Amino acid sequence: YLCYYSLHRRYGIYESLAHMRNDQLKMIVSIPSGVMGLFLIILYFYWRTFCSLYYSTIYRLRNKNKIPIDVEVLLGSYGGHALQRYKYSDIKMMTYSFKDELGKGGYGSVFKGTRGEDGRVVAIKVLNESKGNGEDFINEVVTIGRTNHINVVSLLGYCNEGKKRALVYEFMPN
């Protein structure tokens, strides 16, 4: 061992191998760490920009002259497809005065109905009277209105007249 050590020590082979391994280890650790750090920074700024745009629009719409939040403006800000806004009387007519109840839940009842403009069968979720300014309802309309997925029922329209609120979905039979 002593000869091996002195031979390698004399020619510097041992030190250069150890130094090379150390440099490779630093490179193997630092490159992925740097890439991951850069990715996290980009992701943070993207998230921060999106959230700030979303919440500033809601804040501006809610607090500017204390007007109620306009769903159409909010949907237009985020590229949602055009949703039909219905009057409560239209909802009542589509459901034949809420005759055919499909189900009931914690947030309201769902009725089967027919749209007057094209005769399409729809499911209408009539929400229980809620307290407050309807921010939860508007968030739901904005979120569902932007969703387009094969496994999610499409939102076709909504009603927002005072405390009377309803969501009009495409009907999916069992």
Binding residues for ATP: 125
User: What is the value of pTM for the model shown?
Assistant: 0.55
Task: Give yes or no for a contact between 111 and 122, defined as CB atoms under 8 angstroms apart.
Answer: no
| Max CA distance (Å), the chain | 101
Residue at token pair 């979120």: 143
Q: Give pLDDT tens digits along the chain (174 positions).
A: 445 455 555 555 555 555 556 777 777 778 888 899 999 998 888 777 776 666 666 666 655 544 455 555 655 554 556 678 899 999 999 999 999 999 998 888 999 999 988 889 999 999 887 666 666 677 777 777 777 777 778 888 888 887 888 999 999 887
Which parts are annotated binding residues? 125
CA dihedral defined by 117, 120, 123, 127, rounded to 10 degrees? -10
CATH tag, 83-170: 3.30.200.20
Query: In this predicted structure, what is the pLDDT of residue 134?
Result: 65
Residue 58: which of 44, 70, 49, 46 has the closest Cα? 70
Q: H-helix or E-strand containing 134?
A: none
Instruction: Please state the domain extents for the chain.
Output: 2-62, 83-170
What's the pLDDT score for residue 67?
44
| Calculated CA dihedral for residues 61, 64, 66, 71, nearest 10 degrees | -20
Residue type at 4 in one-letter notation:
Y
For residue range 154-174, list pLDDT tens digits in order.
888 888 887 888 999 999 887
